[in-house]
Amino acid sequence: MIWETVRLSLISIRRNVLRSFLTLLGIVIGVAAVIAMLTIGSGTTEKVKADISKLGSNLLVVRSGRPAGPGGPGGLDQVVRPLAEKDLAALVAHLSGARAISPASQKQVRVIFGTESLTSGITGTDSAYLDARDWKLVSGRPFSDSETRSGTGVCLVGETVRQQFFGAGDPEGEIIRVNRTSCKIIGLLEPKGYTGFGQDQDNVVLMPLAAYQRRIAGNRDIDNIYIAADERTPTTELQPRVEDILRDTRRITPDRDDDFSIRDMTQIADAMASATTTMTGMLGAVAGVSLLVGGIGIMNIMLVSVTERTREIGIRLAIGAHEKHILIQFLVEATVLSLLGGIIGILIGLALAGIASVALTIPFAPSPAVILLAVGFSALIGMVFGFFPALRGARLDPIDALRHE
């Protein structure tokens, strides 16, 4: 009986191909919009997560200045006290659960080789930096401890720097000018591409901290301390330990707030990801409203269909159809119609998301759950919006219906 009815409804949909298609358009657009939104959204979330994990996973970054919060970073009442070598030394000596601890001071500086120049991010750091950031060398070697200590003019460069100055050539052993000093390239960093914030992670030059402080910054401050947690220690556990040690070396009395901040990159990644997810959900909901419009389209066309087929309903009732037979027939028809629209919509939505993922270089991440939901939802819309017209058909008086022209 149900199969018979489904077959019947497909026949009646086929009889009116153009009208059926126009009716479906609302559902098609609605479902396509929802599917495209959610698929692009989850691709973006994945991309953001991947980007942030490029910044380093299980990484804490310590900075001077009060933590960001209500009132903003660093109050007016507070003179920002920079991080110093003794803070780093205390962490290295007392912190357990860290795989690598490394200082980093950064500045955008003009780098020159021959007649070429490039503004690049110069980082003064030590040999633990590569480990802390999980960066690798393609060729060459990291700084030696003695180079770090004495502040020798050596440096590691990123792929962008190499391309600017040497093309595909080998940069090792070349001398570049950084600001008013010069350094010898001893290694090439592995390419990392752009961050989600559009920052070129390969336009970098690393040099020993002492050299940076002396020749570029002109002070002995440390901007950041990177702390990578080891496998057994979650960053949430490491963070309070770091805080304790720093409060201690920086002699902060219990009645005073921290004058430094510790950022947990994992938490930032999660927060960013959940922000994109919320955004996606909201866009999806807006797109969902168009599904409602599609539903009203279905209701409209089913009312037309019931009116057009009043005589047919009369014949069926005269022949002995129960009210529920008529009701089911039109409900199935509305559901099949809307389901068809849903399936077409899903295909179009996925195609759009596929094109977008290529254009935006985000992963194509279709979710089976979302697709199933869209199928279920479009069937539901057919049933809900088809019900009233179907009931109207089922309640017709057979004599009146037979007399209908």
Binding site for another protein (CB under 8 A): 1, 4, 15, 311-312, 314-323, 325, 398-399, 402
Helix (H) or strand (E) holding 97: none
Provide, rounded to whole angstroms, the least separation between the CB of residue 384 and another protein. 24
Strand partners, 207: 124
Q: How far is the CB of 23 from another protein (least distance, A)?
A: 19
We find the least distance from the C-beta atom of residue 307 to another protein, in angstroms, to be 15
Q: How far is the CB of 297 from another protein (least distance, A)?
A: 24
**134/312 with CB nearer another protein:** 312
Packing angle between helix 2-15 and helix 17-54, nearest 10 degrees?
100
Closer to another protein by Cβ: residue 110 or 324: 324
25: which residues sit within 8 A by CB, 6+ positions away? 294, 297, 341
Q: Which two tokens stand for residue 388?
A: 């009233």
Residue closer to another protein, measured from CB, 254 or 320? 320
3 or 197, CB closer to another protein? Answer: 3
> In the complex with another protein, which residue's Cβ is closer, 321 or 347?
321
Least distance from another protein to the Cβ atom of residue 16, Å: 10
Q: Within 13 Å of residue 307, how many CA atoms lie on the same side as its CB? A: 6
Which CB, 74 or 398, lies closer to another protein? 398
As measured in angstroms, the least distance from the Cβ of 383 to another protein is 22
Nearest to 206 by CA among 170, 165, 158: 158
State the nearest-atom distance from the C-beta of 336 to another protein, in Å: 18
Closer of 80 and 399 to another protein (Cβ): 399
Distance CA 92, CA 57 (A): 20
CA distances from 128 to 49, 65, 121, 377, 393 (A): 25, 24, 18, 54, 78
140 to 172, 187, 264, 267, 317: CA distances (angstroms): 7, 4, 31, 34, 88
d(CA 394, CA 312): 11
